[in-house]
Structure 1
Amino acid sequence: MVPAVLERSAEDHPVATFFAVAFGYSWGVAGLLYALTRGDVFYLFAVPFAWGPLVGGAVTLRLRGESVRKWVGQVRNWRVGVRWYLLGVALVMVGDDAGAIAAFLLGSDVTVALGGWQLYSALFNFLVTLLVAGALEEFGWRGFAQARLQRRYDAALVSVGVGLVWVAWHVPLMVMSLGSFADPINYTVLMAAKSVLLGWLYNKTGGALPVVMVTHAAGNMPGFLTVTGETPPLLATSPLSASALFTLAVAVVIVWYAGSETLTRSGSLPDRLGSR
């Protein structure tokens, strides 16, 4: 039997309830993994951590008596044109390799790692993230939180806010060194900017969650470029990484071009699937 306080919370504050359940589930998984392994966790064992936003959205909708099936059905909205998939993947992949690209332009030696295990590793990371791990977060971050909050608030600010929550949600993985996390300030800027990119893709495609999920998964692939020469001083002394700066520039261009209110030039927003 569900406590009445949870039902009231979901009814009156659905997004706050979603965040509470998502954090509670994911951080609980992280705590259990740490207790069982003392922090020595093989990264695939942490896959259930990524299900928190999906669980949070489903639980909140169920408490509100809304349709979980319709909400999950966002994944069927995939026929929006291949250009959106290609654009999302291209932007995050360039962002991942922005440091190496900048080093090359500044005269350093760079090699391309596209053969053998590097390619297989990238494909494996992409598929795991897309099918069972991080991409499933997008049901919650974009498909629940952003879809609801941007009905009341500026979409660009909502995207940044969701990005900051996204950073905080990752803290247990940072503590256990599960994943490639930069220093806190750099990582926060990167994720907030990436959240604007993902929010724009979600809104611009009319809520095509698969576009966002594929873009998210592509961002989890390792870069294909490696700096083999000396890192240029300009990059070595920069307070932000080239990846963070590139993604921040993309976010600024998006807001300038599409407008901050809805992140779409048309002024339209996707439907909140699953809501009454």
Structure 2
Amino acid sequence: MTNNPQAAVSIDAIEKLPIWRYFLLAYLFSWSVSVPLMLSVRGIIDIKLAHELEMLAAMGPMLAAFYIARRYGGKAAVKQLVDSCLHFRVGAFWTAFSVLSPFVLLLGAIIFLTVRSGEIVNLDSDGVAQMLTMAGLFKLLVATSLVQSFGEEPGWRGVATPVLRSRFGPLQASFMLFPLWLCWHLPQFLARPEFGVGQFIGFSVGILSATIWLTLIWDKTRSVLMVFFWHMFINIARNIGLAISPAVFMTMNTGVLLGAIAIAIYWWRTKQT
């Protein structure tokens, strides 16, 4: 058996899929739910829609991925996509990296703030207490983490990234995917009237940073499962950080950004841009 995690998964059929058809379908599937929800929240349409419909909208990229794979790549592309979604033999390092690095970033933020202020970060905040309720745990573990990662990653990293990487370097592919992934989130962002320009800028930087991290993980593993883990756990870690305090949240996000810059420098120094 090969020791190369990438060699365990073939992606030649996926690389030939029509990427713009995928993007259009992912937007169509998701926005057909998230746009009416956003209009409902803002009172533009006189229909009350449950905010939980966002979880249905999150399935758009996955549904588009499997439809495009079956329609344009046949059984071979579907099999390769399923294989990548189930691929777990990626080596101990990349498994640990995908699962643990989000919590290392969270712990690093807490330690940094403790050292800088000379006081232990208060972990018994009102935000933490609210997070530990049944509703809070459902939102943390299911709605904003498991569902979003499960619905998004078979599309963005299972189809879009392989197609882009077959034509461009990892940094170029990340920069091309970033605005499309960001804009896909717009109805969800606009469904939160309390968010303003500052939050959008921060959200955009977070999406760009995450795109770079996830491209690295996919490059090294060819595993949708591993990028699913990282996406899910970074959402969990970020929400825990926000529950503790805005300072922990912002410091952790800075760590994610610095990590993305380090990855970009690594690609540049190894001539992989």
Structure 2 unaligned spans of 5+:
1-15
Corresponding residue number in structure 2 for 1:140: 155
Aligned mates of 1:25, 1:56 — CA distance in 2? 7
Q: Does 1:253 align with 2:262?
A: yes
Corresponding residue number in structure 2 for 1:272: none
Q: Which one of 56, 62, 72 corresponds to residue 64 of structure 2?
A: 56
Change (3 A) 1:178 1:126: farther
Corresponding residue number in structure 1 for 2:244: 226
Corresponding residue number in structure 2 for 1:163: 178
Q: Does 1:190 align with 2:206?
A: yes
Aligned mates of 1:151, 1:41 — CA distance in 2? 41
Aligned mates of 1:91, 1:72 — CA distance in 2? 25
Aligned mates of 2:193, 2:41 — CA distance in 1? 13
Are the aligned partners of 2:122 and 2:244 in contact in 1 as well (CA < 8 Å)? yes
Are the aligned partners of 2:205 and 2:257 in contact in 1 as well (CA < 8 Å)? yes
Change (3 A) 1:52 1:91: same
Q: Give how far 1:14 is off.
A: 0.9
The residue correspondences of 1:1-276 to structure 2 (distance < 5 A) are: 14-34=18-38, 42-67=50-75, 68-95=78-105, 100-107=110-117, 109-113=120-124, 118=131, 121-122=136-137, 125-128=140-143, 131-177=146-192, 183-205=199-221, 207-221=222-236, 222-224=239-241, 226-227=244-245, 241-259=250-268
Are the aligned partners of 2:157 and 2:215 in contact in 1 as well (CA < 8 Å)? yes
RMSD: 3.6
**Once the two structures are superposed, what CA deviation does each residue of 1:228-272 show, in whole Å capped at 9, x if it has no partner?**
9xx6xxx9xxxx943333112111222333557658xxxxxxxxx
Aligned mates of 1:122, 1:199 — CA distance in 2? 29
Are the aligned partners of 2:26 and 2:64 in contact in 1 as well (CA < 8 Å)? yes
Change (3 A) 1:256 1:179: farther
Aligned mates of 2:99, 2:172 — CA distance in 1? 23
Are the aligned partners of 1:126 and 1:218 in contact in 2 as well (CA < 8 Å)? no
Aligned mates of 2:138, 2:107 — CA distance in 1? 16
Are the aligned partners of 1:127 and 1:217 in contact in 2 as well (CA < 8 Å)? no
Q: Give how far 1:128 is off.
A: 4.9
Are the aligned partners of 1:34 and 1:41 in contact in 2 as well (CA < 8 Å)? no
Change (3 A) 1:227 1:51: closer
Q: Give how far 1:131 is off.
A: 4.8
Aligned mates of 2:153, 2:264 — CA distance in 1? 21
Corresponding residue number in structure 2 for 1:273: none
SS at match of 2:233: helix
Change (3 A) 1:69 1:245: same
Q: Give how far 1:166 is off.
A: 1.3
Aligned mates of 1:57, 1:247 — CA distance in 2? 27
Deviates more, 1:118-127 or 1:153-162: 118-127
Structure 1 unaligned spans of 5+:
1-11, 264-276
Q: Give how far 1:213 is off.
A: 0.5
Percent identity between the aligned chains?
Answer: 22
TM-score in terms of structure 1 length: 0.72
In the comparison of the two structures, how many residue pairs are matched?
243
Are the aligned partners of 2:170 and 2:267 in contact in 1 as well (CA < 8 Å)? no
Change (3 A) 1:132 1:248: closer
If each structure's helix is expressed as a fraction of its own residues, which one has the higher value? 2
Aligned mates of 2:137, 2:98 — CA distance in 1? 17
Aligned mates of 1:142, 1:261 — CA distance in 2? 22
